[in-house]
Amino acid sequence: MTIALIVIIALVVLAALTVAATLRGRDADSATGRLERETLSRDRGTVTITETDVELPTGKEIERSAVVARREGSAVVKAQPSEITEWVAPDAEQVGASRRAFLNRSIIGSFALGLGGFGGGVLAFLWPPFITGFGATISVGKVSDIIQSIRDAGGFLYRPDGRMWITEYPAGAIEKARGVYSGPELAGMEAGVIALFQKCPHLGCRVPECLTSQWFECPCHGSKYNRVGEKRGGPAPRGMDRFAMTVSDGVLSVNTGNVIQGPAIGVNTTGQEAEGPNCIGEATH
């Protein structure tokens, strides 16, 4: 508190000094015929010529000598004759036109500049961002290789670059799936795979796989999903969210910038039951 008071007082004094110095400077500026202290001290060091050193002429003497010089003609420099040209007024039309042209160009230039800036901003906004990893479309690889990797990993393939799980979708369930899922989901499912967002739709925890039950089981509040992300238990409001997929020449691409909401509670296209003990107990909330 005391320190703050001292700082405030110091600031007030500083401000007062600054104002006083400014006013003084202004006074000095407006004064005419007044020598600065620095100039006076400099002059003090120089030699001063006084009337006792040199006898200076008086004002009358100077005037008298000027009159004499003028009479004798020595002080007047005669002007040389020069060619006189007639003054021609500038063309009013031309002056007006150039002023108009200047104004027109200024307006057009400003307009073009503004329009260019706006256009640039719009282009920058619409231009597809150069992103890689999560949020971008990720080429995962050949579907046949992916299925092999899933099997090698025990039923679940994790891709950290896309924050996603990739699992197999059984061919026998595809007819049922066609009545539930959208085209971008079915594109991968019909090829035999599905890409699921790792984030739990309940409160956003990362959902891990459970190798014993062959389900996904959330450790936060116990939500459970079958291997294709359809909800089987817990407080989650729906199945696991998933990504739009495309398959071209047998290569799977997953658009991680396009998250599709998981299926509603009750959707169970594969009918997969827990294949062993669960990793997580019942829901805690």
- Give contact residues for ligand FES (rule: CB under 6 A): 200, 202-205, 218, 220-223, 234-236
Which residues partner with 217 through β-bridges?
224
Please count the other Cβ atoms lying within 10 Å of the Cβ belonging to residue 241.
Answer: 18
Least distance between ligand FES and beta carbon 137 (Å) = 27
| Residue closer to ligand FES, measured from CB, 188 or 222 | 222
Q: Choose between 141 and 233: whose C-beta lies nearer to ligand FES.
A: 233
Task: Compare residues 141 and 235 and give the one whose CB is closer to ligand FES.
Answer: 235
- Report the C-alpha gap between 225 and 272 in whole angstroms: 10
CB of 281 to ligand FES, least distance (A): 12
Output 184 or 219, the one with its CB closest to ligand FES: 219
State the Cα–Cα distance between residues 133 and 185, nearest whole angstrom. Answer: 20
125 dihedral zone (left: phi>0; alpha: psi -120 to 50; beta): alpha
Q: Which is nearer to ligand FES, 142 or 199 (CB)?
A: 199
- In the bound complex, what is the minimum distance in angstroms from residue 157's beta carbon to ligand FES? 21
Q: At its nearest, how many Å lie between ligand FES and the CB of residue 283? A: 7
State the nearest-atom distance from the C-beta of 263 to ligand FES, in Å: 16
Residues linked to residue 142 through DSSP beta bridges, in sequence order: 251
Residue whose structure tokens are 């002056």: 95
Instruction: Please name the residues in contact with 273: beta carbons below 8 A apart, sequence gap of 6 or more.
Output: none
| Beta carbon nearer to ligand FES, 140 or 236 | 236
Q: How many Å apart are CA 134 and CA 162, to the nearest integer? A: 5
Q: Which is nearer to ligand FES, 147 or 156 (CB)?
A: 156
Work out the number of other CB atoms within 10 angstroms of the CB of residue 206. 12
Instruction: Give one DSSP letter per residue of 38-76, joined into a string.
Output: HHHHHHHHSPPP-TTTS-PPPHHHHHHHHHHHHHHTSSP
> Smallest distance from the beta carbon of 228 to ligand FES, in angstroms?
17
User: How does DSSP assign 133-197, residue by residue?
Assistant: STTSEEEEEEHHHHHHHHHHTTS-EEEGGGTEEEEE--GGGHHHHHTTS-HHHHHHHTTTEEEEE
Could you tell me the smallest distance in angstroms from the CB atom of residue 206 to ligand FES? 9
